[in-house]
Amino acid sequence: MDISRKLGAEFLGTFWLVLGGCGSAVLAAGIPHVGIGYAGVALAFGLTVVTGAYAFGHISGAHFNPAVTLGLWTAGRFPARDVIPYWIAQVAGAIAAAALLDAIASGAAGFDVTAGFASNGYAEHSPQGYSLLACLICEVTMTAMFLFVILGATSVRAPAGFAPLAIGLALTLIHLISIPVTNTSVNPARSTGVAIFQGGWALSQLWAFWVAPFVGAALAGLIQRWLGTEETAPVASKM
């Protein structure tokens, strides 16, 4: 597959992930009596991955996340030459989605993008006030487990066609666990897109939501190699 088409698919898939996941948090989560709450936002993120993977997985592998790309590379399942181009496409897609979400949300009276805009944070900007250390541990662990699910579900020995369901359910579970802690990143592109528009504390804390997911993803990829998987099939093969 031509690299430009892969990058286009990564842009669109990440756009959909941020628009669907962060959009649910910004537009639908906080409405009294009828809002979807934490559980609804968690499900929205999972649904974007499931639908996006079925839509674009056969083109690009449906990473939609720089940490996933890094983890697949460390596991020997993705070529090094494509890592940075994928990251650029993913971050661009996330920023485009955040821009569209800002345009929609701004149509409501009283909307204030600086109030949070589904941004990730720690300490006083953690939804429930968790410390920086707790947030880093959470993000490293959740990202690592997400990569283990991705690597296992896309194995050449896994049942064909079910990987998006397993991956989407895993992301839903991850959000159910960690929204109260960090508002759930496990995805540096998702964090970057909304942080740019929040523009204040979210940008100053953004480093944590690149470092922790990258550490978790790299560890998972290396551990998966140590566990003895000897396959080199691309992640797209099972989508």
Q: Is residue 112 part of a domain?
A: no
Q: Can you give the pLDDT at residue 158?
A: 80
184 vs 175: CA distance, rounded Å: 6
Q: Can you give the pLDDT at residue 61?
A: 94
CB atoms within 10 A of CB 21: 27
Per residue in 214-227, pLDDT (tens digit) is 999 999 999 998 88
Per residue in 20-78, pLDDT (tens digit) is 999 999 999 988 888 899 999 999 999 999 999 999 999 999 999 999 999 999 999 99
Instruction: Report which secondary-structure segment, H or E, holds 141.
Output: helix 132-153
CATH number of the domain where residue 234 is located: 1.20.1080.10
Q: Is residue 111 part of a domain?
A: no
Q: Can you give the pLDDT at residue 238?
A: 43
**Nearest of 155, 133, 159 to residue 211 by alpha carbon:** 133
Q: What is the dihedral of CA 43, 138, 234, 16, to 10 degrees?
A: 40
Per residue in 114-147, pLDDT (tens digit) is 999 999 999 999 999 999 999 999 999 999 999 9
Q: Is residue 138 part of a domain?
A: yes
Q: Can you give the pLDDT at residue 35?
A: 86
pLDDT value at 235 more than 70: no
Domain count, the chain: 1
- Whole-model pTM? 0.93
6 vs 11: CA distance, rounded Å: 9
Where on the phi/psi map is residue 161: left (φ > 0), alpha (ψ -120 to 50), or beta?
Answer: left
Q: Is residue 123 part of a domain?
A: yes
Q: Is residue 23 part of a domain?
A: yes
When mean pLDDT is compared across 48-52, 160-164, 177-181, the lowest value belongs to 160-164
17 vs 48: CA distance, rounded Å: 5
31, 120, 143, 168, 211 from 214: Cα distances, Å:
34, 15, 8, 20, 5
**Nearest of 113, 58, 64, 53 to residue 86 by alpha carbon:** 64
Q: Can you give the pLDDT at residue 159?
A: 79
Range(s) of the domain holding residue 91: 3-106+117-238
Q: Can you give the pLDDT at residue 148?
A: 96
